[in-house]
Structure formats: C-alpha cells, structure tokens
Structure 1
C-alpha cells in the first residue's frame, strides 16, 4: 500500500566495535546477513554519512559528488529492493535517486558501511512511507533491516554504546541491537589514528568467509566472544575504564589472530599500525596518558581514553612515524530522519 510521497534525508554515524564482530553465521539464509558473534560498539560523533533518497525517473547513485555505477551501485539498489519487500509495499519498487556523502574515508576500515547502510535504510524507509519518525519500535525495526545490508549498520541506529546480540533463531528474530544506557554520562574519547590513505585491499565480507573456512582459530574466536560481550557491558555499567579497555584489546587481538591464521593470511595492518599500538602500550606502562587500542579490518588504530587525557595522548601518537592524522572523537548521537 505504501508509496513514496516525498524525499527523505537521513544522518547516521559510524560506530567502532569495542568487542569485535567477525564472521557470518553458517547455515542460515544469507539474505539475513546474521553475524556469527555479537558485538559492542561506540557510535562516533564526527564520522557520519548523510543520505538523501528521493523518487526519480531512473535509479541513480551518487557518492561524495560522483555518480557511481557497477557493483557498489547494484548493492545499494538491491538493498532498496529488499526494503521495499520488507515493508510489504505493493507493485514494483519506484526508481530512486540516492545521494550520499561520507564524512569519513570510504572502505578504509573506519566502518563507512555501518553509517552508509544505516543512513540508506532510514532514508529509504522515509521515502517509501515506512517511517515518519524514529521512535523506539521503528528504530529497532530499521536496525534489523540495516543489518541485512551491513552487519555493523544495525548498531548505527543509536548513539553512545550499543550491543548487538548474535542470537540463535534461524529467522534472525533474536539478532537485535540495543542501546546500553549509562546511569550518568561517561566522558570518553576515541582517538582515530590514521596510518594510511585510500581503500583497503581485502573487503571485510570476503575476509570473514575466508576466516570461517580456513582459520583454525575461528571456532575459538566464536566460542569466546559471548564472555567478552558480557564483561564489556558490565564494565560500561560500572564505569570501569581499565576493565573495559582490557576486554577491548583482548577482543581485538583475538580477531586479528584469527585473521592471520586464515589461508591466505589476512594482514590489514601496516608498520605504522604496529608502532602506534606499541606507543600506546609504552605510555601506559610508563605512567603516561592511558589508552587502550582496537583495530578493525584496516590499518587504522582506534584508542579509547578518558576525555581529559585525549589531547596529550593524541599529541604523542601524532608524532609516531607514518601517522597522517589523529582525530579526537566523542560518543555520537542517534541516527536521524527528516522528510523533505
């Protein structure tokens, strides 16, 4: 019954998993894009995607001011087809113009797919008449739909800290993201340490499947993740910074160990990545500003720290050879929707 009546503009912020997600659940409908493990993330204030979806005479996708065709565009419009079906809309999907701007590097290990597919999902839902505002039930429903485009996108519907449970149901009904409210604000920062420019060579989706099929460490990675999630959530609720940091680092290095044992090995880091990690550890051990590291499927390092120590720690890391930039990012807000 629903038909697009207006253009819609959505903003969704990237998120970085403090407890990592790596791997798809086997034996389920691939359309559901169910993760093998849960994850816990921090939404980022500055790193975001803004996407406008509007009815048009023909499908067209523009990213950062340039028209995009081929596989990336096909993935965008396949997601619009999916949303049209999930919303039980009648008739063929109307053609749409999708105009998106990434306020972060694309495909570089900074979760541009999370903010990108979250923003696309929200804007399309607004355009298709499936959402007029993001109340709690709507946000939860769109989170599950965003997950089908990108697993990490499910978490970008909310600000602050968010947990995504992997679930066990074959239909994905218990694979849900939920915000983790704090009894009072916790003034943390995530330093995003850029150690390279440009896109990474191996995409996350292909890398995950290679790890599942070939890494001898993959079963242990999956089996041990639930305990990390519970420990990280408990640390957040108790505002136990060192406990949260230790769980975060442990999750990161387990994931990268699984990647390294994949055939062929997945090495997303470069020399500067290792030097930044080493610098954070040395500062912590020497009584300097305290940070804890994590890194996704890319060369950049993210460092969790207290807000008051962020300037000093950022200055130290900016001096590491090979570092291009250090961003100091606060926890970000909920995703938003505007009908235009």
Structure 2
C-alpha cells in the first residue's frame, strides 16, 4: 500500500505549522503499475467516481462542445470579430465570462461576426434559438467550486470561452442540465480530473449523470426553478435579512435533489461534500462555505440534514443545544479535585 497525501491551498498554513495534510489515503500499489501510462494522481473522490463509473455520462444526455473561434493571423484585413452590443451589424452572443457572473444570470451580451471569412471553427458557437447551458471554459476558482453554469434560454451564439451543453432529443431539458452542472458532483468531478487546467471537453463528456427517471428529474427541475426565482428576485417578498437565508435554503434543496438522484451511499456523499468544507461558493446569491456544521462527523445525507425531521431529531437538537454543565456536577468535580490534591 502507498500513502497519497495532498495539501490544498487553504491548508498551506496548517501544513507549515504542524505538517497537517488536507487529504490523505492509502491506495494499492498495483494501481500505479498496470500500464506504462498510468496516472500517478489519485482523485480525492476516487471512490465516488468508481461507484458511478457504470452509469450514464453527460455525453448520453447532451451535446458538449466549445463555442466558435475567430481567425487570428489569417483574419482578412478590415474584418472584425467582436463589437459592442449596440453595433448595427453582427449577431448577439457571448464572448467572455464576467468575473461577477452569477449562476442565475447571463454573461454580458456582445455582437459577434459569424461570417465564414472571420471564423476559424464554429463547433457549438452558432445560435440555435433553443435553450442551452453555458459553462465557463476556464476555471472560475482555484479551489473546488470551479464551475459556473448559466442558462441561456434563447440559444445565442458564443465564443470558445464557453462550453455549450445542449440537450439531446428525448432527454431532460436545459434546466435539469443546469442544475446538474452547478451541483457539487460536477464541481468535484472538475476539481478531481482537471486540476487547475481549462475545461477539457472530452473529460467533461465522461462526467457521470444520474440514471433517467421522472421520479428525480421532476424534483430537480422544480427545485432549480424555485432557486432561480428566489435568487433573481428584486426582494419585495423578503426582508433584507431573510432573503439570503431563503436563497441558501433553496440552493441546498436543489443540491439535495441532485445528490438524491445519484443515490450515493451516505459515506461517499459525505466524502464528496467534505471537499467543499470552508470553500467559498461564489455567484449563488448567498454566503456559502460548506454543507456540514463544525463537529458533525456522522454520515448524514444532505436531504436528511436540511429536513425538518432532522431539525426535530435527537441528533439535531443535541447539535444545536448549548454546551452547559450542571452546577451540581461542577461542585462535585471541584470537591473531587480538592480531595485528590490533599492526598
């Protein structure tokens, strides 16, 4: 057996101070000698991916490809590529991922030149007029939340700074795919398989997706719709204090619906979600830095953790109960300590 250890960026200080690792695991040595091209990297959620390896992949549900590339050095003289949204010529589309992009928002619109003399490769860059999911091509963060998928309901044109994920006929729609691509499963997959590199299309096509079933596809779409409605609300239905809490609750419910569809064993679901402990999740309309409260080590699935039944349970009450000690117990301990000191 070999020890595999990793120090994440936010764990650097802990490693310097006390040689603490962010993640460690023993793995069989035979896994590294099966072939000359064996990968020496061990994904932190390797057990999760092994468990899901026999199921469907993103490629089964959607067309996954980058947007268009304009010509560079071979661009004809006087030929333009992108212009301001207000320009009279060109096709409305998306060219870059805004730094402050929210997953319920849309990238800034711009005019793109789609003429053949300006384009090197179209791929999924042409407009379709049908809903699609836009995925950032470059990671939006160095840590685990690397993806920001947005829903483009008008099917506009896009450049290669985006990956277009388009539903295949007979499969679930763009809203379902949007929820899947913003889930902890998709982000953990990108973190484990891509590292700090740009999104590799071939790799993302292999991302596991839940088995097809209306029993979970409908709940996922309903949860996604509710979250989008709350996250994009101007706020008249909620006070300033309650709005972020309502948005976070809806986001957790969407994540829980997706995780429920994957049907991971509780231990593996916990392993997956622990990857995001303390990591800021940007662009979601609320403060979000993890799933489990400090001190809770049990394998509690997310759908149970956020349920009212759990909040009323003995475990939930114990977690939230104040840590107080009876005065009688304190007095007895002092008496025992004094008696011990006299001996």
Give the alignment's TM-score, normalised by structure 2: 0.30
Higher Rg of the two aligned structures: 2
- Highest relative contact order (Cα 8 Å, sep 6+), 1 or 2? 1
Give the alignment's TM-score, normalised by structure 1: 0.30
User: More strand by proportion, 1 or 2?
Assistant: 1
